[in-house]
Structure 1
Amino acid sequence: MPTNDIADARTSLRQDNSIAAPDTQSGSRIVAIAAQAQGMMFPAAASVASLMFATAASAQDNSVALPTIDIFGGNDGYQATNSSLIRMPVPLLSTPQTVNVVPQQVLQDQNIATVKDALRNVAGITFRAGEGGNQGDTPYIRGFSAQNDVFRDGVRDPGWYTRDAFSIDSVEVFKGPSSILFGRGSTGGAINLTSKAPRDRDFVDATLTGNTAPGARATIDANGKFNENVSARINIMGQDSMVPGRDKVENKTFGIAPSIKMNVTDQTKVTLSYIYQHDNNIPDYGIPFLKATDGVPRSIAPVNRNTFYGILSGPNPDVEKVDASIATAKIEHEFNNNFKVTNTTRFSDVQRYQLNVFPEPNASVPNANNLNVNWTPNRAGLNVHNSLLINQTDFLARFNTWGWDHTVATGFEFSQERRDSLRNNWAGQAGTNFINPDPYRFGGAPGPSTASQRTIGHATAAAVYIADQIKLNEYFELLGGLRYDYFKFQQDAPLAAATVNNLSRTDTPLSWRVGGVFHPTPNTSLYLMHGTSFNPSADNMSVSVATAATAISQFNLGPEKNETTEFGAKADVLGGKLNLAAAIFQTEKTNARVPDPTNATVTVLDGVIRARGFEASAAGKITDAWQVIASYAFVDARNVKTSVAAQLDKRPIQTPEHAFSLWTTYDITPDWQIGGGAFYTSEVWGDVTNTAYAPAYWRFDAMLAYKIDKKTTLQFNIYNIFDKYYLANVYSNWGVPGPSRYASLTLKMSW
């Protein structure tokens, strides 16, 4: 069921059916709406909206708006035919790589609030429960961590937090090594978030959602074209919601994302944008696994799914606070139709503080035979500050030599990144009953940070890349690309010994990718790709200083190296309305970091982790009324070489052997739409020795929408219809239950 936000170009009609130019008095209209928001939901944000649109409105001309009503059309729906990256300028059909896209219409139909929820539409992506330095979005792709491989508009987003989807237009997942596109990391893949940007038309979309958690969420998405050269957009979001089935867990989030686009000349465009997200949550670290029993994998403790081990009382209750800011300036210049340059400068700053109970096994954890005991779980606080300043320049050129069509993407980038982390353990908290914990018990007091709990990491990076996709004829294409990276990492550990202070290392790896594409017909392709990626020791901007030997050995190590081979097929069928894709792949980390067999405190590059598998996907329209997005992943991943006997031949953590996702909608009439989804994940392991696991599960969702009139829609969503008790995230010592059955009702309004 399309909304107003589906066509970049539209004409308008009033109820008398007279056709006219679009309304150019958008500035005052959006300012009025922002003023209403100021008085109703988002006072501070609406003030910013009013100021931004009023300023831009003053630049508009005196065009006369004719009476109109809207005509809609031209929506791709669930189908994506191109990536948003300038570094990947050819259609997905001609791209020798698996790329899954979760478009805006899917986000709307599923009423998605977070990037994590959006990614469940891509089979095989799982998330790890947080501990210590692992917080926020912690995705795994094809058996490898992608926590440091999240990008926004092609630029690294290093902050560790749970990203809200209010400012996101679509989510792209690039499977396999993508160092040639993004630099360090991307062993199993990378995730790119496409931001909502100003468009050349006027619209205002608002949503108001209530759910049975209970909770509420409201959003405003307003866009104004003030004249032929200036357009602006603002997104505002507010949410306060409990987590279904986890009675004490609460998420409070606010966000605002203004942006403005200016056509400086006919060939030059400048876009300025800012994104701010604030979280004030009660974090959820779930339920502990039981103590290990020899030869028997550990399961989660058999307590009620809403059992909460956190602390809510006193001056220092469990809390998670996040302030994330991203400011971007992008300049685009088209010299002609075949040559374009884009320069992007971004500063991002993410501050995150968390204090929480870790429900992990310790000396007082019970065993399976006696749960009715007093237990004192561990508690700790963590303060992390991430910042990034980066400048990227990308050139895109298309030309012909000797009858061959070249599409060349080349460019360079420079960045400064910093991560400041301080952790401290708390002591003296009161014990509590394991089966029925008291959240209002005494929370203890902070203890001093130990030598290894304070680190300051700083990275200086530079890179240059070039990639050329050559179209030999209507049947064959070749791709070749190289990227050279300079990555210097320095770390201070102010509380540690002098021997592990001011350590530094510089790596200069070369990444490459080659591929070939064969088109049996214009709408089909077969491809073969081989590429590389790398992971430096300080991939996550931190190196352990638990001992001097550990720290020094890490800084003496070069990057881990990864290679992937992928063979696949793609087809646009049913008149190009439905995209089909399938691929087989192998990714091998050829020199994984493992403990030295002669000295466990020292790390060496001598491990091998291999993932082989098959993936298939479909996205688009089966008929004009029936849309679908579906994917399946089979991953056989193993630790095939390691110095730790207990890890040999074990599956990597967070890697299901089978995963499946399906979401589909059908327009019963022009006013009624139904939808439903099925999501499956086979068992996953939370630890590297495969002793703690999350069982396999199916989850089913559904949706019903009614279009009250052309400007108003009422949408009902129900999640986890059969109230399945499953673990959405697992760690080596605990698992976090997924939401129980709940429903939401959303009112969508457009002007």
Structure 2
Amino acid sequence: MFKKKYPLLILAISSANITLMHAAHAEEAAPGVLPTLVIEGMEEEDPSRSYIDYKQANVTRNGLDKNEIPQTIDTIDVQKYKLYGSNDLSVMLQGTPGISTSYDMRGDGIMLRGFDANNGDIYRDGVRESGQVRRSTSNVERIEVLKGPASVLYGRSGGGGVINMVSKYANFESTSSVGAYIGSDANRGVTVDVNEIVSDNWAVRLTGEHGESGSFRDGIETDIDMLSPSVTYDNGQDLKWTAQYTYDKLDRIPDRGPSYDVLPAGTPLTQSFAQDGDFVEDELQVFRSDLTYDVNDMWQVKWAASYREAYQNFDHFYSGTYCESEDTSVRRGGSCSGHVGDISQVYYWQETGNNTLSNNVSLLGDFMTGTLRHRMVVGLDMSLEGREPKLANTNQDGSSIYGYVNPLTGEKQSTRGTGDLLINTHNYYDSMNVGLFAQDLISLTSNLDVMIGARFDKYESTAQNKLLDANDEDYERSIDDTTFSPNIGIVWRPASQHAVYTSYSRSFAPFGGRVSVNSVRSSQDLDFFNADPQYNDQYEVGVKSDWLNQRLMTQLSVFDIEKSNIRYRPDPDNDPYRWAIQGEQESQGIELSFIGRIAEDMYVRGGYGYNKATVKEDKTSPENEGKTLSGVPRHTGNLFLRYLPTESSYTEIGVTHVGDTWTNSDNTNKLEGFNRVDAAVGYNIGAWRTSLAITNLLDKEYWRSSSMPGTPRSVLARVSYKFD
């Protein structure tokens, strides 16, 4: 329980170290760490852009510099990963301290500081990315990660943090370009990014991408189509408005095979398990409007509105059981239909639509009360979310649909098409959330700030069974609840280039820990419903520093998160109405990140994270106490170096590390960790930009998740032409 015994000691030691180290460095300022506006003005392929930190992050919602926030904030420029051909959010976040990633055909598979972030903690331009959809990053400029509980700013949460993707939009700084890329596994595509200043007050922008790619696993394909027009009006005085529409579509032949521990020895990593006719369609449409108005020198109003539609339709075979003998009890991974030497697959069809209508009005103030300076944000969030899944997994005649793959020979067969599917699940879920929040950074002295925040949320959730009518008692269920979330932090600057902080923050997951829109089932007996929320409480101590005349930025943090109020019924037979606390989970860790220029021609970025996420108490399964939470590696990290011998050329090499990971709560199945080396070179000729990147330079074999091996060595070449 070091959070209770040692935070002041850690704070004192950190402060002493910072003071001593600071004495060895000069304090003169230099433009090494550039503000957001300047980075947005840099061309996308600028060789140094990926190695310069953003001064601010939209995810904080208050306009403050990152070193004024008493929590860890990482900002990742997407271009550094586009260089290697990455489009998936989970791939881009691999190796980031405190972040665990896996492969999920339907979503992203991301955990923050030991806790799931998929269902409620991924945002685009400040709007929750609810719904079942694979997210493309084709129109994303940067990824912002606010680590630790953030319910004060965003409401319901899994408790590990918040990920915010910031879209490219019309502005008065960015240049224009067209480009193309080609690489391994039939990876090819074209891009367009035209930003035009129409007048002193108006700018328009159009970004787009069409891409096609195969895979190192036979028969796996992905097509990308993205188009996003936007317009920005700025009167040059007190009003700025941006409107944007984004259409993003992914068509895929999915790769969703069985777990690695099910496969027999000798199965090649290139073996795919998709059957003929398997497909996934992901379609995302977003309309958003952002309005900023400066009331005067002290007060600013922001109004952000967004409507989002996400659609996913898939029909495929996946997962599976390996049949080792004619005895159906001899199998790996589940039941077996007796086809010796085959993977017996599972079949599913699902069509799911999600929509989100979101509004936020915020008032930002910078004012004095006596000798105290306040930088405050007060906001009102309102959102309506809907989800409508349709599922079918049987034939009309009731016989099972099955698929088989022989993992050693590659032979496949299925019974798809032998009968018409019947929809056996059709539900509609909707939820409403109203949240009122306030956060104030109070400057007590010139080098000491206190941040205080609070939020009040009201949630309502409804589920309807569309296969039944309103006269059926299992047709509809509704629940509602209210929750209060606090946070407090202290930021002390013993020197101008260093900030030491400590903070406490809480997040909540309503309705028994459910953070998605489908919080209740239409047939749920509400008398037995676990309505109390789960809480994540975090204590964090950290240091944020600028070095080498502000050319190098570092963050060091120590955190302890406890997930509490996990509920269960001790005696459901004799006392079915009584709920009690089942236990707690705890995530402790240390994170270090750094980015900047360490020598005249040498840049660095990277970090290291140690995360011990364990079951602290479990009254239903006491044998799991002390075991590691599944999906959370103890060690993560990355280190990239870029050398710029001239203004027009660069070379880069980097390593991404993910440690051993338990894939089940019993800690009996372990996924071995890996170190992946990537490298790239780039050269600019006038307005032309070229690059050649190699992923997995050493061609290491590894598994990125229990059901997906890592990509072997691959090459991607990019070329673009810049124009004004």
TM range (shorter): 0.7 to 0.9
Letter in 2 for 1:96: P
Aligned to 1:527: 501
Aligned to 2:370: 402
How far does residue 186 in structure 1 lie from its aligned partner after superposition?
4.3
Q: Deviations over 1:16-68 (max 9, x none)?
A: xxxxxxxxxxxxxxxxxxxxxxxxxxxxxxxxxxxxxxxxxxxxxxxxxxxxx
Give the direction of change, closer, same or farther, for the CA distance of 1:100–1:300 in structure 2 (3 Å limit): farther
Matched residues in 2 for 1:300 and 1:474: separation?
Answer: 65
Give the direction of change, closer, same or farther, for the CA distance of 1:107–1:305 in structure 2 (3 Å limit): closer
How far does residue 748 in structure 1 lie from its aligned partner after superposition?
2.0
Residue 180 of structure 2 aligns to a residue whose secondary structure is strand
Matched residues in 2 for 1:305 and 1:154: separation?
Answer: 39
Aligned to 2:438: 466
Matched residues in 1 for 2:432 and 2:314: separation?
Answer: 28
Residue pair 1:676, 1:702 contacting (<8 A) in 2 also: yes
Matched residues in 2 for 1:499 and 1:736: separation?
Answer: 43
Residue pair 2:317, 2:403 contacting (<8 A) in 1 also: no
Letter in 2 for 1:391: N
How far does residue 499 in structure 1 lie from its aligned partner after superposition?
4.8
Letter in 1 for 2:150: S
Aligned to 2:29: none
Question: Equivalent residues in 2 for 1:273-352 (5 A)?
Answer: 273-290=244-261, 302-312=266-276, 317-352=277-312
Is residue 124 of structure 1 aligned with residue 101 of structure 2? no
- Give the counterpart of 1:236 among 202, 208, 231: 208
- Give the counterpart of 1:358 among 318, 333, 339: 318
Matched residues in 2 for 1:8 and 1:610: separation?
Answer: 38
Residue 314 of structure 2 aligns to a residue whose secondary structure is strand
Aligned to 1:433: 406
Q: Deviations over 1:344-382 (max 9, x none)?
A: 1110000101122122337768459x9961342111111
Aligned to 1:101: 75
Q: Which moved more, 1:735-744 or 1:624-633?
A: 624-633
Residue pair 1:6, 1:74 contacting (<8 A) in 2 also: no
Matched residues in 1 for 2:683 and 2:493: separation?
Answer: 42
- Give the counterpart of 1:268 among 234, 239, 258: 239
Is residue 647 of structure 1 aligned with residue 620 of structure 2? no
Residue pair 1:416, 1:460 contacting (<8 A) in 2 also: yes
Letter in 1 for 2:457: D
How far does residue 520 in structure 1 lie from its aligned partner after superposition?
0.8
Q: Which moved more, 1:527-536 or 1:156-165?
A: 156-165
Give the direction of change, closer, same or farther, for the CA distance of 1:552–1:738 in structure 2 (3 Å limit): farther
Residue 218 of structure 2 aligns to a residue whose secondary structure is strand
RMSD: 2.9
Give the direction of change, closer, same or farther, for the CA distance of 1:645–1:126 in structure 2 (3 Å limit): same
Letter in 2 for 1:713: R
Residue pair 1:725, 1:740 contacting (<8 A) in 2 also: yes
Aligned to 2:705: 729
Residue pair 2:403, 2:412 contacting (<8 A) in 1 also: no
Aligned to 1:477: 449
Matched residues in 2 for 1:280 and 1:351: separation?
Answer: 12
Letter in 2 for 1:641: E
Matched residues in 2 for 1:6 and 1:216: separation?
Answer: 31
Once the two structures are aligned, what percentage of the paired residues are identical? 21
Aligned to 1:566: 540
Q: Deviations over 1:450-473 (max 9, x none)?
A: 4xx433211011011000001122
Aligned to 2:4: none
Residue 393 of structure 2 aligns to a residue whose secondary structure is strand
Is residue 183 of structure 1 aligned with residue 155 of structure 2? yes
Q: Deviations over 1:96-123 (max 9, x none)?
A: 0011110255345445423223212522
Give the direction of change, closer, same or farther, for the CA distance of 1:174–1:201 in structure 2 (3 Å limit): closer
Residue pair 1:611, 1:637 contacting (<8 A) in 2 also: yes
Aligned to 1:34: none
Matched residues in 1 for 2:721 and 2:605: separation?
Answer: 25
Matched residues in 2 for 1:455 and 1:528: separation?
Answer: 45
Letter in 1 for 2:455: R
Matched residues in 1 for 2:481 and 2:322: separation?
Answer: 39
Long gaps (5+) in structure 1: 12-71, 292-298
Letter in 2 for 1:414: M
Give the direction of change, closer, same or farther, for the CA distance of 1:564–1:86 in structure 2 (3 Å limit): closer
How far does residue 543 in structure 1 lie from its aligned partner after superposition?
4.4
Aligned to 2:110: 139
Residue pair 1:500, 1:552 contacting (<8 A) in 2 also: no
How far does residue 443 in structure 1 lie from its aligned partner after superposition?
2.7
Q: Deviations over 1:103-146 (max 9, x none)?
A: 25534544542322321252232234437xxx211211111000
Give the direction of change, closer, same or farther, for the CA distance of 1:548–1:511 in structure 2 (3 Å limit): closer
How far does residue 8 in structure 1 lie from its aligned partner after superposition?
6.1
Matched residues in 1 for 2:607 and 2:523: separation?
Answer: 44
How far does residue 303 in structure 1 lie from its aligned partner after superposition?
1.1
Residue 519 of structure 1 aligns to a residue whose secondary structure is strand
Residue pair 2:591, 2:609 contacting (<8 A) in 1 also: yes
Matched residues in 2 for 1:344 and 1:384: separation?
Answer: 26
Residue pair 1:288, 1:300 contacting (<8 A) in 2 also: no
Is residue 715 of structure 1 aligned with residue 691 of structure 2? yes
Aligned to 1:90: 64
Give the direction of change, closer, same or farther, for the CA distance of 1:631–1:202 in structure 2 (3 Å limit): closer
Residue 67 of structure 2 aligns to a residue whose secondary structure is helix
Residue pair 1:289, 1:360 contacting (<8 A) in 2 also: no
How far does residue 492 in structure 1 lie from its aligned partner after superposition?
1.6
Give the direction of change, closer, same or farther, for the CA distance of 1:345–1:720 in structure 2 (3 Å limit): same
Residue pair 2:703, 2:709 contacting (<8 A) in 1 also: yes
Q: Which moved more, 1:636-645 or 1:576-585?
A: 636-645
Aligned to 2:22: none
Letter in 1 for 2:411: D
Long gaps (5+) in structure 2: 1-33, 395-399
Aligned to 2:591: 615
How far does residue 180 in structure 1 lie from its aligned partner after superposition?
0.8
Give the direction of change, closer, same or farther, for the CA distance of 1:741–1:8 in structure 2 (3 Å limit): closer
Residue 320 of structure 2 aligns to a residue whose secondary structure is coil
How far does residue 85 in structure 1 lie from its aligned partner after superposition?
4.0
Residue 373 of structure 1 aligns to a residue whose secondary structure is coil
How far does residue 6 in structure 1 lie from its aligned partner after superposition?
6.9
- Give the counterpart of 2:655 among 678, 683, 691: 678
Aligned to 1:150: 122
Residue pair 2:293, 2:300 contacting (<8 A) in 1 also: yes
Residue 445 of structure 2 aligns to a residue whose secondary structure is coil
Matched residues in 2 for 1:10 and 1:509: separation?
Answer: 43
How far does residue 329 in structure 1 lie from its aligned partner after superposition?
1.2
Q: Deviations over 1:300-319 (max 9, x none)?
A: 8651101122211xxxx111
Aligned to 1:24: none
Count residues in correspondence: 663
Q: Deviations over 1:575-594 (max 9, x none)?
A: 11111011110111111245
Letter in 2 for 1:169: E
